[in-house]
Amino acid sequence: MLPPRFCGIKRNNRCGKEGIAVPTAYTEVYRQTRGGVHLLSRTRFATLKPKRGERAQGTIPVPGVDPPWDLPAFVVRGAKDGPTLAVTAGVHATEYAGIAAAIHAGRTLDPQALRGTLIVVPLVNTPGFYERTMYTNPRDGKNINRVFPGRARGSASERVTHFLTEELFEGADAYLDLHGGDMVESLIPFSLYQLTGKEETDARSAELAEALDLDYILAVPPDALRGGSYTAAAALGIPALIAEAGQQGIYDSAAEARHARGLGNVMIRLGMLDGTEQRYGIPKRLARFAWLYADAQGLFYPSVAVGDLVQSGQTVGEVRDLFGKPLQTLHADVSGPVLFLVTALAVNKGNPLMGLGTEEPGRSRAG
């Protein structure tokens, strides 16, 4: 194994654009041990078992779910041994840019140019996709990204997340979950990973977040999002990230390209592909989200836009009733950028309205 190495700011032929070394060779056993147990990197997903230098694709039924819940999947196994990167998209069915980028990667990546294995599940929430269901899936009404690692005998969503945890995350060397703004969400591109307290896992997650080349990086505490995909993978000791690009339930080719570029950079950083990372900036690191919620049902009138920098105490919006009477004035409780903003006029009590990024430590309440 040749793990990621750091070098100085000076560039050389073994360092990435920002002076961070890119691994150049791997053995078949990339993540050699976890808990003292010798492990091999995963090279298959359920019944998809390509040989070296080949691609397999197909739909995989989730066990025990009726009516059937089928997951489209690609397994691209490189001609040479190396790490395994697991990728999901479409956990939320109307976040289209990530879905499109995942399909493109699974379909077009050349196995002959690859070291290791890329496993892609480009659409997790298949029941919600053609119904254009926002946030949840229509089978059990649950948000899939709140029920990981799931249960083998649970609801439909819980069985899906249990299946992915056991059949996709386990044995992967890194995990990337592609997201974006749902139908009523505007956001600025950012990546997110959980601080686990495990030095090696956290360092690798931080490196991969940088490689994604999104505008902001949030390294959040374990309580920031319970039941999330990346938290389940991180609990297994796997470097795991969420990448957010695209917004408002729109298929946007520029956002798709942003996801695709980040995915390519991650594979270069892991040593799965040769080449130079395409980097267009240095992401700014933040400590957590600070969420603002609706105290009452009403109409939401934000006074800031996504990407704006706000100051603690600044008025950032208002909730009014149907006659225009103010019900709630929202004030920023931290200073930082507006990363997430609800764009719907209609809001319900308890809905998250805005997510501010901050460098200030503290407790995150998930949106």
Give the rounded distance of the alpha carbon of 183 from its chain centre: 17
What per-residue confidence (pLDDT) applies to 40? 57
In tens, the pLDDT along 36-89 reads 443 458 999 999 999 999 999 999 999 999 999 999 999 999 999 999 999 999
Query: What CATH number does the domain located at 289-358 have?
Result: 2.40.50.100
Percent of the chain with pLDDT over 70: 87
Cα torsion at 280, 212, 76, 236 (round to 10°)? 170
Question: Distance (Å, rounded) from C-alpha 291 to C-alpha 289?
Answer: 6
Question: Distance (Å, rounded) from C-alpha 9 to C-alpha 229?
Answer: 34
Residues 6+ apart with CB under 8 A from 252: 96, 97, 246
What per-residue confidence (pLDDT) applies to 13? 29
Output the average pLDDT for the chain: 89
Buried b (16+ CB within 10 A) or exposed e, 20-35: bbbbeebeeebbeeee
Q: Same fold for the domain at 33-284 and the one at 289-358?
A: no
Using an 8 Å Cβ cutoff, are 186 and 248 in contact?
Answer: yes
Given its phi and psi angles, is residue 264 left (phi above 0), alpha (psi -120 to 50 degrees) or beta? alpha
Percent of the chain with pLDDT over 90: 84
Angle between helices 253-269 and 96-108 (to 10 degrees): 50
In tens, the pLDDT along 328-367 reads 999 999 999 999 999 999 999 999 999 999 998 766 555 4
Residues 6+ apart with CB under 8 A from 13: none
Using an 8 Å Cβ cutoff, are 340 and 355 in contact?
Answer: yes
* Whole-structure pTM value: 0.88
Identity (one letter) of the amino acid at 153? R
What one-character-per-residue DSSP string does 118-161 give?
EEEE--S-HHHHTTT--SS-TTT---GGGSTT--TTS-HHHHHH
What per-residue confidence (pLDDT) applies to 9? 23
Q: Where are the beta strands (DSSP E) in 113-167?
A: 115-121
Mode of pairing for the β-strands spanning 174-179 and 80-89: parallel
| Average pLDDT, integer, range 293-317 | 98
The tokens describing 290, both together, are 């600070």
What per-residue confidence (pLDDT) applies to 302? 98
In tens, the pLDDT along 249-289 reads 999 999 999 999 999 999 999 999 999 999 988 999 999 99
In angstroms, the Cα distances linking 190 to 169, 173, 268 are 22, 22, 19
What per-residue confidence (pLDDT) applies to 367? 47
- For domain 33-284, the CATH class is alpha beta
Question: Distance (Å, rounded) from C-alpha 103 to C-alpha 228?
Answer: 22
What per-residue confidence (pLDDT) applies to 360? 80
What per-residue confidence (pLDDT) applies to 41? 83
What residue segments make up the domains of the chain, in order of their start?
33-284, 289-358
